[in-house]
Structure 1
Amino acid sequence: MKHVLSSALCCVLLLLSTPALADSVIVGTVTSAENKKPLADVVITATSPNLQGEQVVVTDANGNYRIPQLPPGVYTLRFEKESFRLHARQDIQLRLDRTIRVNVELLPESFSELIEVTSSGSRPLIDLGAIGRGISNFFGGRGRASAPGNTSAAPPASPPPPPPPPERTAPLPQQPFADMYFKSYGVNPTIDTEEERFSTFSVDVDTASYSMARSYLERGALPDEQSVRVEEFVNSFDYGYASDPESPFSVHVEGFPSPSRKGYHVVHIGLKAREVSRVARKPAHLVFVIDVSGSMNIENRLALVKRALRLLVDELDERDRISIAVYGSTAHQVLAPTSAADKHKLMSAIDRLQSEGSTNAQAGLELGYAIASEHLREGGINRVILCSDGVANNGITDADGIWERVRKQAARGITLTTVGFGMGNYNDVLMERLAQVGEGNYAYVDQLEEARRIFVQNLTGTLQVVAKDVKLQLEFDRQAVVRYRLVGYENRMLAKEQFADDRVDAGEVGAGHSVTAIYEVKLREPTPSFATLRIRYKAPEGGDSRLMEKQLPSSLLRTAYGSAAPPTRLSYVAAAFAEKLRGSYWVRSLSWAQLSSLWEELNEPLRDRPDVRELGALIRNAQALDKRTDRFEQLEPVFTMDFDRVPVIK
């Protein structure tokens, strides 16, 4: 029944999200402003409030492009090509059953001004603008209005532009696992510092996306491109950062020439939160809310949950309490708050867990929060841990009905961690959003070793938060950096005004946790420093935010890839692996064989580490499985059109 309802819901959503076919078209030619020659392989992205998603095409060998079957509305076009300045054209008015021509001349990066020709098509002729109009401020203030789920934050001074559209490879021929629910947040563009020099985002210490990809690949399938979040791949690895006992965060920065983007440097930025010893960790009350519905009885999901709980119980001590609530068609308490020292009672309760009924996730969460609230430990750790496949077919069918309640409980100090299990009939979107709103973290357990990493190796960091609402902002020096791109964090982007706004929610960081971000930057000329890094955070108990600020000297940028430290290079390999899996335009020149070679170039002690050795195996698996045609080749316009029939104003 659950499968039928989920499938029906998916079909309804698909029907609702499919726009009616329209006969409006945007066409044009892209040429170089320097020599007037046509430019092939320019990526053109069309976005509009009336367009579900986006339309992406590339120019052919003659510089021509065509974007067909568009609904009428106001459009923005973005033109991107390596070695040329980014260009965005806004406020394009497209009427029903009209063809509009937008011709653009792109400037090489060495040029100082843009010359643009814009004109329109038949039935009737529409004037789109004049020669000499400059680059728009499309990239100014880039970022979402707030972190997902945040409805209480005040809007920024000026509304940020819409998020960048997805840039994906051609769809996989078939999806091997039914009813897997994911959401694409697009792929960050490269941004000109003349348009916007600030890059602002909320931190993310989740790792679920990497574990999910591993689960796909080990079952002989490429992961769904929408499931790949680059930052969660990068943050799945330990880069050996040293913590600073005198500071809430230590900062580790290094850069090197990009192996995949000629003329760019990769900049690795790592933060390490202060350590808290096991003895110094606060006492905890953990309320496990466990999905025992019928779907949890397949693929040993519930069995893996029980094994994971056994690992956790062995790591806790007499300071800690555990409660267990389960939900199927209804929710009920299995274990009242019990000392972790009473291991026999805890293990017995775990052993009694069995599958039952449909999935009333709302009832389960409400019961879990009620138990946590009634037995709140003042000054301690109060956390609800949801173990589920995320699918709900009874009571609540999405998270919208409980966002506010989860947020209010987090404000009281009861945080939420979500731990996902299972392939097929799995809702990644719901599990991630719940963890974000609940000020916790999201993990995915595909094997017992992953449970050991979460509940044993990283237990203190998983449980004890040392910094709340952590935001990062990089201000690039325009004299040093021409362009930049943040790799990943698409669903954590913030407007620059939100950095100093304490009403805007952001990510939480646990004791000893590390956060790593990867940038690609194109340097202009040598300068003493290339950027300023700012970190804003609150104490675990809240209050006003605090600010850390560090200059990033250019001496941190190495002259060769091989000169960078092996852990720095590992972060790039992890990021490039994710980019390849999600079909990012920005790694189109990096082959699987080249990526495998970059992994081979890591020094032997690092390559022999079990998690790094596993990464190499996953890269080889993906290489063998990837039969996709490059979407930028596949989407090259294939059409016959008489351009003389579309008038052009010169």
Structure 2
Amino acid sequence: MRVETYRWRTGGKARRAALAAALAGGLLLVGCSGGAGTDRATAGDSGRRAPGAPAPAPGAQDGEQRPGADGTGAGRGDGQGDEVRETPPADYLSTFALDVDTASYGYARRTLAEGRLPAADTVRPEEFVNSFRQDYPKPDGNGFTVTVDGARTQADDWSLVRVGLATRPSDRHGARPPAALTFVVDISGSMGEPGRLDLVRESLGVLTDQLRDDDSVALVTFSDEAETRLPMTRVEGNRDRIHDVVDGLETTSSTNVEAGVTTGYDTAVEGHRKDATNRVVLLSDALANTGETEAEAILDRIEDERREYGITLFGVGVGSEYGDAFMEQLADKGDGHTTYVSTSEQARKVFVDQLPAHVELRARDAKAQVVFDPKTVEKFRLIGYENRQVADDDFRDDRVDGGEVGPGHQVTALYAVKTRAGALDRSGRLATATVRWLDPASRAPHERSGSVESGALGSGLWDEETKPGLRVAAVAAYFADSLRGGELPGAPTRGELAERAGDLARTTESKVVAELAESIRRANSLRD
């Protein structure tokens, strides 16, 4: 028995394996109609197998019992474990690195506000979906909770299945490791446009007042060349000095991102603090035009520091013209993530509300694997995550990069799933999701699993009893897919999506959902 992975853009298993091999040198989150599971957490071994050996099914370590494909509940993560009946074929597996980026959605909103549709290749559905907070349960300690749920769409036998992962937020009044932040600021001529360098100066000035006395800051600028304006400096007693350096930033000439990244990492290594969270924060429109302009060559420079010193990269994009793909590649290789800001309000959210609280990590090299039950599922498609796909056999190979996840982060993955006739009207397992990650300090592997039964998908996606969070995620995913020219089964028109989003904004009294509705209306008015 085989299941067909629904392929519009993904290219299937062979492409996943090839893409994972290409990214093996270095590759990064938001509840919940019934049936969700949040169960067993286990510490695993290295997970390394002989080449070509199949990956154990999610929820089981090598040599342990594995989830059955017969809907009996085996592998549910409840510790009871049923007799192994069948290991799901590879075509029933979906594996990806976790992603908490949101830059694609932020840049699309900016583009639409200017009266233009975003280019299809800048639209990443997972970043649209993960721009909206969900009400997933939080774990008591480090690690993740796993929530799996879904609802029926308007297309026959098609459902939307959601996998939600969440980490514990930081206690802003409690202890966290000190931060050692190296800001790498683009001061090239293109940054002179309003909403670029002026927004960066404002953001860094506000952040300087938010950081703790035991944090440290360095600042590097780049145009045609790079310069360290401030070596790694303790915040205590030096806030005025930091403000003076930030206030003095002015634009000059061309954009040599290579020089900026190289000098930034050199500065971060020189000022590396063993007891701190070390991070490079790149602020740029990512429009490289001098020096090495190919991301891959620049990424090679990051590799050694990433592995030896654990320095992560946070990319903050600005500007109406923005090198989205370039910035994403840099952040992926730097074990970090990206966001995009175009207003003071967005900048304050990133630099005041998020960055100070998220300087630490909850998980390194985090990956997720979803097993679909062949008795209930005919075919499926992961919506988005094309740049994050991992070969199924590499799920427990901890040498393969995953995503870095901080406190209070959430990851949502949505699947379009076609079930077998009548499957949703009888009991049986639909899907089991497992997240695997390494402890940031000890690098010990851990896992947690959750599952959903087929009977739990009884509600329609747009029914009132379906949780608002799931409906918001669906609107965001359908919207993103429409911007790429996709045709997801059961997808509403953009006009219908705008109405759905407007209704949800009123129900939830959410400003960000209202902004989503407005963006969809703008896109609908720009259609050919």
Give the TM interval when normalised to the shorter protein.
0.7 to 0.9
Aligned to 1:530: 430
Residues in 2 aligned to 1:527 and 1:312: alpha-carbon distance in whole angstroms:
52
Aligned to 2:127: 232
| Alignment CA distance shift 1:219-1:156 (3 Å) | farther
Aligned to 2:523: 622
| Alignment CA distance shift 1:382-1:138 (3 Å) | closer
Matched residue type, 1:478: P
Alignment of 1:65-104 (within 5 A): none
SS at match of 2:434: strand
Residues in 2 aligned to 1:408 and 1:401: alpha-carbon distance in whole angstroms:
13
Aligned to 1:334: 229
SS at match of 2:261: helix
Q: Residues 380 and 417 of structure 2 are in contact (CA less than 8 Å); yes or no, is this contact kept in structure 1?
A: yes
Moved more, 214-223 or 326-335: 326-335
Alignment of 1:546-557 (within 5 A): 546-557=446-457
SS at match of 2:362: strand
Aligned match of 1:610 in 489, 496, 511? 511
Aligned to 1:572: 474
SS at match of 1:266: strand
In the alignment, is residue 345 of structure 1 matched against residue 246 of structure 2? no
Aligned match of 1:209 in 101, 104, 107? 104
Q: Deviations over 1:245-290 (max 9, x none)?
A: 146111222211114x332111111111122212322101111111
| Alignment CA distance shift 1:195-1:366 (3 Å) | closer
Relative contact order: is structure 1 or structure 2 higher (C-alpha 8 Å, sep ≥ 6)? 2
CA deviation after TM superposition for structure 1 residue 398, in Å: 1.1
Residues in 2 aligned to 1:147 and 1:539: alpha-carbon distance in whole angstroms:
24
Q: Residues 141 and 495 of structure 1 are in contact (CA less than 8 Å); yes or no, is this contact kept in structure 2?
A: no
Q: Deviations over 1:409-464 (max 9, x none)?
A: 1111111111111122x322221111011111111112222212222222255421
Aligned match of 2:152 in 237, 257, 264? 257
Aligned match of 1:272 in 166, 169, 176? 166
Aligned match of 2:320 in 418, 423, 431? 423
In the alignment, is residue 595 of structure 1 matched against residue 497 of structure 2? yes
> Which protein is richer in strand relative to its size?
1
Residues in 2 aligned to 1:280 and 1:147: alpha-carbon distance in whole angstroms:
39
| Alignment CA distance shift 1:247-1:414 (3 Å) | closer
Residues in 2 aligned to 1:462 and 1:233: alpha-carbon distance in whole angstroms:
20
Q: Deviations over 1:99-133 (max 9, x none)?
A: xxxxxxxxxxxxxxxxxxxxxxxxxxxxxxxxxxx
SS at match of 2:488: helix
Moved more, 247-256 or 476-485: 247-256
Residues in 2 aligned to 1:140 and 1:391: alpha-carbon distance in whole angstroms:
33
Q: Residues 480 and 527 of structure 1 are in contact (CA less than 8 Å); yes or no, is this contact kept in structure 2?
A: no
Matched residue type, 2:335: E
Matched residue type, 1:343: R
CA deviation after TM superposition for structure 1 residue 400, in Å: 2.5
Q: Residues 204 and 515 of structure 1 are in contact (CA less than 8 Å); yes or no, is this contact kept in structure 2?
A: yes
- Count of residue pairs the alignment pairs up: 461
Q: Residues 201 and 493 of structure 1 are in contact (CA less than 8 Å); yes or no, is this contact kept in structure 2?
A: yes
Residues in 2 aligned to 1:247 and 1:155: alpha-carbon distance in whole angstroms:
27
Aligned to 1:479: 375
SS at match of 2:99: coil
- The structure that has the greater radius of gyration is 1
Residues in 2 aligned to 1:87 and 1:274: alpha-carbon distance in whole angstroms:
34
Give ranges in structure 1 of 5+ residues lacking alignment. 1-83, 89-136, 161-192, 628-650
Matched residue type, 2:395: F
CA deviation after TM superposition for structure 1 residue 596, in Å: 1.8
Alignment of 1:377-392 (within 5 A): 377-392=273-288
Residues in 2 aligned to 1:141 and 1:422: alpha-carbon distance in whole angstroms:
33
Alignment of 1:97-246 (within 5 A): 139=13, 142-146=16-20, 149-151=23-25, 157=51, 196-246=91-141
In the alignment, is residue 360 of structure 1 matched against residue 256 of structure 2? yes
Alignment of 1:309-328 (within 5 A): 309-328=204-223
CA deviation after TM superposition for structure 1 residue 149, in Å: 4.2
CA deviation after TM superposition for structure 1 residue 522, in Å: 1.6
TM-score w.r.t. length of structure 2:
0.82
Residues in 2 aligned to 1:138 and 1:324: alpha-carbon distance in whole angstroms:
44
Q: Residues 149 and 403 of structure 1 are in contact (CA less than 8 Å); yes or no, is this contact kept in structure 2?
A: no
TM-score w.r.t. length of structure 1:
0.67
Alignment of 1:2-21 (within 5 A): none
Residues in 1 aligned to 2:170 and 2:477: alpha-carbon distance in whole angstroms:
29
| Alignment CA distance shift 1:544-1:247 (3 Å) | closer
SS at match of 1:576: helix
Residues in 1 aligned to 2:189 and 2:141: alpha-carbon distance in whole angstroms:
50
Aligned to 1:114: none
Q: Deviations over 1:456-507 (max 9, x none)?
A: 2222554211101111111111111111111110111111101111111111
Q: Deviations over 1:171-226 (max 9, x none)?
A: xxxxxxxxxxxxxxxxxxxxxx9771001111110000000100101101111111
Q: Residues 293 and 357 of structure 1 are in contact (CA less than 8 Å); yes or no, is this contact kept in structure 2?
A: yes
| Alignment CA distance shift 1:531-1:587 (3 Å) | closer
Aligned to 1:395: 291
Aligned to 2:311: 414
CA deviation after TM superposition for structure 1 residue 321, in Å: 1.1
Alignment of 1:451-462 (within 5 A): 451-460=347-356, 462=358
Aligned to 1:495: 391
| Alignment CA distance shift 1:620-1:145 (3 Å) | closer
Aligned to 1:31: none
Q: Deviations over 1:510-543 (max 9, x none)?
A: 1110000101112222333211211111111363
Residues in 2 aligned to 1:522 and 1:457: alpha-carbon distance in whole angstroms:
40
Give ranges in structure 2 of 5+ residues lacking alignment. 28-47, 55-87
Aligned match of 2:333 in 413, 420, 437? 437
Moved more, 150-159 or 569-578: 150-159
Residues in 2 aligned to 1:388 and 1:343: alpha-carbon distance in whole angstroms:
23
Q: Deviations over 1:375-414 (max 9, x none)?
A: 1111211111111111222221112223232021111111
Residues in 2 aligned to 1:609 and 1:87: alpha-carbon distance in whole angstroms:
33
Q: Residues 214 and 618 of structure 1 are in contact (CA less than 8 Å); yes or no, is this contact kept in structure 2?
A: yes
Matched residue type, 1:390: A
SS at match of 1:307: helix
Q: Deviations over 1:569-622 (max 9, x none)?
A: 11111111111111113268631122123223427341x211111111111111
Q: Residues 90 and 392 of structure 2 are in contact (CA less than 8 Å); yes or no, is this contact kept in structure 1?
A: no
SS at match of 1:434: helix
User: CA RMSD of the aligned region, Å?
Assistant: 2.7
> Which protein is richer in helix relative to its size?
2
SS at match of 2:91: coil
